[in-house]
Amino acid sequence: MTRKRNHGDEAMRRRDFLALGVGLAAATVAAPSVFGAQPPAASTAAMGRRKLGAFDVSSIGLGCMSMAGVYNAPADKAEMVALIRAAYERGVTFFDTAEVYGPYISEEIVGEALAPLEGRVQIATKFGFGGLDVRAAPGQAMTAGMHRNSRPDNIRRAVEGSLRRLRLETIDLLYQHRADPDVPVEDVAGAVKGLIQAGKVRYFGLSEMSPATIRRAHAVHPVTAIQSEYSLLERVVEPEILATCEELGIGFVPWGPLARAFLTGRFDENSTFAQIDRRNTVAAFTPSALKANMPLLQLVREWAKKKGVTPAQFSLGWLLAQKPWIVPIPGTTNRRHMEENLGGAAVRLTAAELGEIRAALSKITLVGVRAPASVLKDL
Identify the CA nearest to 94 among candidates 120, 75, 73.
Answer: 120
**Could you tell me the pTM of the whole model?**
0.89
Helices (H), the chain: 9-10, 77-89, 105-114, 152-166, 185-197, 211-220, 240-248, 287-292, 294-307, 311-322, 335-342, 351-361, 373-376
Tens of pLDDT, residue by residue, the chain (379 residues): 333 334 334 443 443 443 343 333 333 333 456 665 433 334 455 799 999 999 999 999 999 999 998 777 889 999 999 999 999 999 999 999 999 998 999 999 999 999 999 899 999 999 999 988 766 565 554 555 679 999 999 999 999 999 999 999 999 999 999 999 999 999 999 999 999 999 999 999 999 999 999 999 999 999 999 999 999 999 999 999 999 999 999 999 999 999 999 999 999 999 999 888 889 989 999 999 999 999 999 999 999 999 999 999 999 999 999 999 999 999 999 999 999 999 999 999 999 999 999 999 999 999 999 999 989 988 8
- Domain annotation covers residue 84: yes
- Domain annotation covers residue 64: yes
- State the total domains in the chain: 1
CA angle 67, 68, 69 (to 5 degrees): 95
Single-letter amino acid code for the residue at 123 = I
- Domain annotation covers residue 195: yes
- Domain annotation covers residue 239: no
Task: Classify residue 142 by its DSSP letter.
Answer: T
- Domain annotation covers residue 104: yes
- Domain annotation covers residue 41: no
The domain containing residue 212 runs over which residues?
59-223
Cis peptide before 324 (omega within 30 of 0): no
CATH number at residue 64: 3.20.20.100
- Domain annotation covers residue 5: no
- Domain annotation covers residue 7: no
Q: Which residues are catalytic?
A: 101
344-374 burial, b at 16+ Cβ within 10 Å, e below that, comes to bbbbebeeeeeeebeeeeeebebebbeeeee
